[in-house]
Amino acid sequence: MTTRRDFLHLTAAATALGAVPGVAMAQPQGSTSPSDRPIPPSGGGEMLRLVSFAADRSKSPRLGAVRGDGKVIDLSSAGLPGVDATGMVSLIGAGPKALEAARRAASAGDGPSVETVHLFAPIPSPSRNIYAVGWNYLEHFKEGQAVRGTNAEYPAHPVFFTKGVNTVNGPYDPIPYDPAVSTAIDWEVELAVIVGTAGQNIAEADAMSHVFGYSVINDTTARDMQIKLHGGQWFKGKSLDKYGPIGPWIVPAADLDPSDLHLLLRVNGEVKQDASTAQMYFKVARIIAELSRGLTLVPGDIIATGTPPGIGNARKPPEFLKPGDVMETEIVGLGTLRNVIQAVPA
């Protein structure tokens, strides 16, 4: 029997066919509903999904885990060794024993359905800027070159920038649209790496041992500010408040292979980006090794690893997000973000 959800998926896929020159299309997996209710996990029943959650957004976030059956287990009172009330970063820094204790508690407990709670960003208030990698997919570099009208060589090393801490937004929370600030809001689906072990000058061969886990992030960008306004402001264009939805959870490194993950970005059900992390030019280990040269990484640091082709600014004509649009950012098997573009009251 074809359900309404199936019908929405098929309709969105049919709409998307042929919509993005040079980018393969895939059938969407998430809902096109503008609801802020979390999307239950699909597959990976044994995977540990660590969240920051509460009964509603007005309450303080608690450390939890979402099981494959969609139940949310409260870990904040599970007596995890070395983990205090600060939550996720405390768990990340507490090491393998605490993580295994969290895994046992998640499998043994019970709790409400994830669709009945509010999920915050897994690290709701990071203490440091988000590190990000530019131009980590060759085709994205080429489409950017075409927009800028340049013909530079591909960089020999990862290009880093940062997003301010206030860009962090929940996986199902709205993204503000203020035309007095920007009218060229663009999308960028990316794999986020969460650092678990501190280090400086980390060897590439040792880099993966410093990874705690992975999440989904959208490097939402004000293109007019980044490229044109005030001489071009990369940091400012990338750092508007709430322009970095992340989540819906963190999956520990032992539970996920980052080498060939399917990335999808949809706007109102239409696929805009469709790629694999296998296409990343600089892999996770290289990124960590290069970033840590003379710069100490600490537990809880977030690294956005770059976006594939299909951004709105490179389309002909350019496409940008507008109030009412529903942006879905998915890494298949990892999770889906769903954020509504919301006009700021005049």
Average pLDDT over residues 65-85: 94
pLDDT of 339: 98
pLDDT digits (tens, 9 = 90+) for 90-101: 999 999 999 999
Which residues face 331 on adjacent strands?
263, 335
Helix, strand, coil % in the chain, rounded to nearest 5? 25, 30, 45
CA 238 – CA 134 distance, rounded (Å): 11
The backbone region for 13, taken as left when phi is positive above 0, alpha when psi lies in -120 to 50, beta otherwise, is: alpha
| pLDDT over 90 (residue 258) | yes
CA atoms of 152 and 174, how far apart (whole Å): 37
pLDDT the model gives residue 143: 65
What pLDDT, on a 0 to 100 scale, did the predictor assign at position 85? 80
Query: Model confidence over 185-234: pLDDT tens digits?
Result: 999 999 999 999 999 999 999 999 999 999 999 999 999 988 776 667 77
Q: pLDDT class for 150, splitting at 50, 70, 90?
A: low
Structure tokens that stand for 63 in this block: 């450390």
Report pLDDT for 26.
41
Comparing 15-29, 271-285, 327-341, which segment has the lowest mean pLDDT?
Answer: 15-29
For residue range 121-138, list pLDDT tens digits in order. 999 999 999 999 988 987
Question: What CATH topology corresponds to 123-343?
Answer: Fumarylacetoacetate hydrolase; domain 2 (3.90.850)
Average pLDDT over residues 50-73: 96
Which helix (H) or strand (E) is 5 found in, with range? helix 4-16
Q: Is the pLDDT of residue 140 over 50?
A: yes
Is residue 3 pLDDT above 70, yes or no? no
Q: In the chain, what are the domain boundaries?
A: 123-343
